[in-house]
Amino acid sequence: MCGIVGAVAERNITAVLVEGLKRLEYRGYDSAGVALLNEAGELDRRRRVGKVSELEAALKAEPLPGRVGIAHTRWATHGAPSERNAHPHFSGHQLAVVHNGIIENHDALRDQLKSLGYSFSSDTDTEVIVHLLDHTLKSEPDLTAALKVAVKQLHGAYGLAVISAKQPDRIVAARSGSPLVIGLGLGENFLASDQLALRQVTDRFMYLEEGDIAQICRDEVQIWDIDGKAVKREQVQYHEGAEAADKGEYRHFMLKEIHEQPSVVQRTLEGRLADDHVLVQAFGPQAADIFAKVKNIQIVACGTSYHAGMVARYWLEELAGIPCQIEVASEFRYRKVVVQPDTLFVSISQSGETADTLAALRNAKDLTPEQGGYLASLAICNVGISSLVRESDLTLLTLAGPEIGVASTKAFTTQLVALMLLTLAMGRVRGTLDPQLEAELVAELRRLPTRLGEALAMDAVVEKVSEHFSEKHHTLFLGRGAQYPVAMEGALKLKEISYIHAEAYPAGELKHGPLALVDADMPVVTVAPNNELLEKLKSNLQEVRARGGELIVFADEKAGMSNGEGTHVVNMPHIHDALAPILYTIPLQLLSYYVAVLKGTDVDQPRNLAKSVTVE
Ligand code: HGA
């Protein structure tokens, strides 16, 4: 994924920019570049394909000192990964830009700018920004004022930063759909797409909000909101180590990671949504072409990622109308598979190094067209520099950040978000998704972090419910439709960290066998959103109650379910049915966490398990 770093200082800032890029390196990228105003006040740049170390070597061979500069790691969406497409992009020798995101109307802008005499030296959408700004500067010579005018013509998503040889005292920046944060120093200030990049130089930050424009000088930072009004953004101070390596105020990494979900889901959505649709190029430069040809999808994954894939199968068939199969990687890799024509191979893995998933991808790629090879491969992964990402044609990174707890939590919900983005992108490209529903779901995705926060606020209620489990040895989890895999994930979490035997069933299967197990010692956990399967689910629950089974039901506040003898109902905030699997995951994570705490197990490092399963 792209990263942006910028600095305005009185000292040479080349090393700060390069170090910032390195800190964003774990997300993966294909090229990197830096542009500075050199000692003579001229704009100069170095760009390289490959790792930041390539850029670093280039800067060593040919130093580029300066006090004002911007830098970028690129993950191509428009135009191949090459030096000429790497950022920063220039307009003449005056103006340089770095950009994260996608400018959707770049074709129209490019034609317009060409007719005004601009020539383009890259294939990126980004280059239109810098020429557009240059053109705007002809009637509005102040750089900041010109940026305010120019961004009004950009459609899509951007976090961008600009420097100019004519106004060498500042970086100007704009945010719409892609995050930007200002780092505050003493007599120097910084900019980045993630505060991680700047932790070496400051611990004080100011986050830009949607539509903000910022002017960052050495001694002063000014911000204007979407309406052009001068605003102040709150200053946030981070303490050293407040990131992944520290549990902060939490007792366990798992609880910390559960509570990080609103912010990491937000991050996974950033830069990937336009007003009412998903930006298809977020999956890579060839995504639109490949997606248009896809007739089937094969998902392969293990463990929690497999459950995310199972939810996606419901979504892809129901919302995008595309046939979808899913299989665990350890089975898939040793099986002779029959591939339907034009099938997209989708692998899901937190680490991108899961041995079975990687082997399955490699096997899939080895199939020749005569053997019915796959059309292309897509990785949904949390680590940008992983093997799975490197070896797949397309990638959508989940931006969950490092996950330390062995039992996966935030990696799962961000995978679900990524898979919903895939569903919406597929539906759009294939024309199978009603545009009104698409817009509704995009709006719901935007509200999702808030909903997740509301679900997390039920922490104490779930903790109380967990007391019903600590003495039990077996549990059943039930769900219907896309909530069935959520029940599976709930059962897996309980097994992993509390060592209580738990099994998940589609609620309709209960009477076909597992009902025989139900008695007063077998609590039954159910997720019950308010959808068309609710009445059927209620009947299944009656079947449990009639056998003396104790019920714990997480139900939509509008589902009309209430506490009764042996029935404990936890009301959940209302949410669009399609996104309910993401929301209902939260109380099940909290439940297993509190049961494990009551049982006194090693929550973050449960026995016999490891984080990234790189062996077979
Ligand atoms: N569209 C730009 C920037 C890509 C990006 O933000 N990737 O994460 C490009 O292709 O260069």
- Mutation test residue for ligand 1: of 85, 97, 124, the one with most atoms within 8 Å of CB: 124
- Mutation test residue for ligand 1: of 4, 29, 74, 286, the one with most atoms within 8 Å of CB: 74
Q: Is the pLDDT of residue 1 over 70?
A: no
The closest alpha carbon to 98, from 21, 5, 188, belongs to 5
Question: What is the reported pLDDT for 407?
Answer: 86
In 65-129, the DSSP E strands lie at 68-74, 89-91, 95-103
| Least reliable range by pLDDT among 302-311, 517-526, 557-566, 593-602 | 557-566
Average pLDDT for 204-218: 94
- Matching fold, domains 2-237 and 253-599: no
Of residues 336 and 167, more confidence is placed in: 167
Question: What is the reported pLDDT for 239?
Answer: 57
Listed by start position, the domains of the chain span: 2-237, 253-599
Of residues 566 and 312, more confidence is placed in: 312
The closest alpha carbon to 437, from 492, 445, 479, belongs to 445
> Is 147 within 8 Å of 172 (Cβ atoms)?
yes
| Least reliable range by pLDDT among 28-32, 140-144, 506-510, 604-608 | 604-608
Question: What is the reported pLDDT for 531?
Answer: 74
Q: Is the pLDDT of residue 615 over 60?
A: no
Euclidean distance between CA atoms 120 and 113, whole angstroms = 9
Question: What is the reported pLDDT for 588?
Answer: 97
Residue 101 is given by DSSP the state E
Euclidean distance between CA atoms 119 and 137, whole angstroms = 17
- 3-state SS of 479-517? ECCCHHHHHHHHHHHHHHHHCCEEEEEEHHHHHHCHHHH
Q: How many A from CA of 492 to the centre of ligand 1?
A: 37
pLDDT tens, 229-282?
A: 999 999 988 754 445 556 778 989 899 999 999 999 999 999 899 989 999 989
Give 301's pLDDT tier (boundaries 50, 70, 90).
very high
Average pLDDT for 66-88: 94
Helix (H, G, I), strand (E, B) or coil at 300: strand
Classified by CATH at the fold level, domain 2-237 comes out as: Glutamine Phosphoribosylpyrophosphate, subunit 1, domain 1 (3.60.20)
- Mutation test residue for ligand 1: of 100, 178, 394, the one with most atoms within 8 Å of CB: 100
Q: How many A from CA of 201 to the centre of ligand 1?
A: 26
* Whole-number CA gyration radius for the chain: 25
Question: What is the reported pLDDT for 33?
Answer: 97
Give 75's pLDDT tier (boundaries 50, 70, 90).
confident
Average pLDDT for 126-150: 98
Question: What is the reported pLDDT for 54?
Answer: 95
Q: Is the pLDDT of residue 387 over 90?
A: no
Q: How many A from CA of 99 to the centre of ligand 1?
A: 7
Query: Which protein residues touch ligand 1 with a CB less than 6 Å away?
Result: 1-2, 74-79, 99-102, 124-126
Q: Is the pLDDT of residue 568 over 90?
A: no
Of residues 178 and 456, more confidence is placed in: 456
Q: Is the pLDDT of residue 560 over 90?
A: no
Q: Is the pLDDT of residue 355 over 90?
A: no
Question: What is the reported pLDDT for 305?
Answer: 97
Place of tokens 């994260």: 100
Average pLDDT for 409-430: 97
Please provide the average confidence, as pLDDT, over all residues in the chain.
Answer: 91
Nearest atom within ligand 1 for CA of residue 281: 1
What's the predicted TM-score (pTM) here? 0.78
Give 157's pLDDT tier (boundaries 50, 70, 90).
confident
| Least reliable range by pLDDT among 115-124, 382-391, 487-496, 568-577 | 382-391
Q: How many A from CA of 3 to the centre of ligand 1?
A: 9
Give 108's pLDDT tier (boundaries 50, 70, 90).
very high
Question: What is the reported pLDDT for 614?
Answer: 44
Question: What is the reported pLDDT for 404?
Answer: 79
pLDDT above 70: percentage of residues in the chain: 97
Nearest atom within ligand 1 for CA of residue 99: 3
- Can you say how many angstroms the Cα of residue 114 is from the centroid of all Cα atoms in its chain? 35
Residues marked as catalytic: 2, 611
Q: Which two tokens stand for residue 142?
A: 């102040």
Give 206's pLDDT tier (boundaries 50, 70, 90).
very high
Provide CATH code, domain 253-599: 3.40.50.10490
On the 0-12 / 13-18 / 19+ scale of CB atoms within 10 A, 503 is middle
Nearest atom within ligand 1 for CA of residue 79: 10
Question: What is the reported pLDDT for 616?
Answer: 47
pLDDT tens, 487-507?
A: 999 999 999 888 889 999 998
Nearest atom within ligand 1 for CA of residue 78: 10
Place of tokens 């999956």: 283
- 3-state SS of 382-445? CCCCCHHHHHCCEEEECCCCCCCCCCCCHHHHHHHHHHHHHHHHHHHHHCCCCHHHHHHHHHHH
| Least reliable range by pLDDT among 261-275, 399-413, 521-535 | 521-535
Of residues 27 and 547, more confidence is placed in: 547
Give 602's pLDDT tier (boundaries 50, 70, 90).
confident
> Is 271 within 8 Å of 100 (Cβ atoms)?
yes
Q: How many A from CA of 101 to the centre of ligand 1?
A: 5
